[in-house]
Structure 1
Amino acid sequence: MSKSSALIALSLCILVTYFWRSLPFLALRGKKLSPSLSRLGELLPPSIMAILLIYSTRSIVTGGASLRLSLIAGCLFTALIHLLKRNAILSVLAGTLLYVALQNLL
């Protein structure tokens, strides 16, 4: 595959993905959300974070001491940053960076 063909294919994938992701927002623009949809919008982000926490810490039982320390420090740091800044992206990014740094240093 040539570079131009790959660039065209990548651009097409980006456009199609952007279209499908923006379609619900375009369809619901200007309309009042139902109470159940509003409730789902409130409950879904913390639920996803809880699932990610459980999934990412499942290896704490079988891992070595350095893995345990990295996981616990990363999780606690993520929680601390989130409590201080109330920014999910910043919290997850900071916790991930600390986890990766500890994994490489220990």
Structure 2
Amino acid sequence: MDPRGVAQPGGGPRLVAYLMRAEQMDDFNSQFLGFGTTTDAAPATDERIQDMQEFYDDGRFYLGPSQLVPLAIPLANHVQSMVLGADLRSTLAGVDADWARLAFRA
């Protein structure tokens, strides 16, 4: 769906279709040390990440705790504040408040 009054109606879906073409995804992944997310994606060719391919293919990887926090909670902002010297107690209270707000909406 395009926003009203957009200059090129239908452009959004065409752009997504273009970006999701195998050759586009494979080219992007090869340039930026990425792994393909489709079953027919090209394998990694850069020697820096080639050894990780089998773990990725088998789903034997972990994204880390930061990826488990919903995007509605600005965890990176809170962490940055703490690293830069913000008051720990008030920053963690803010994190708690974010979780409470999210839980209340659910």
Choose between structure 1 and 2 for higher RCO, CA contacts under 8 A separated by at least 6 residues.
1
Classify the TM-score, shorter chain: 0.3 to 0.5
TM-score (norm 1): 0.37
TM-score normalised by length of structure 2: 0.37
Task: Please state which structure has a larger fraction of its residues in helix.
Answer: 1
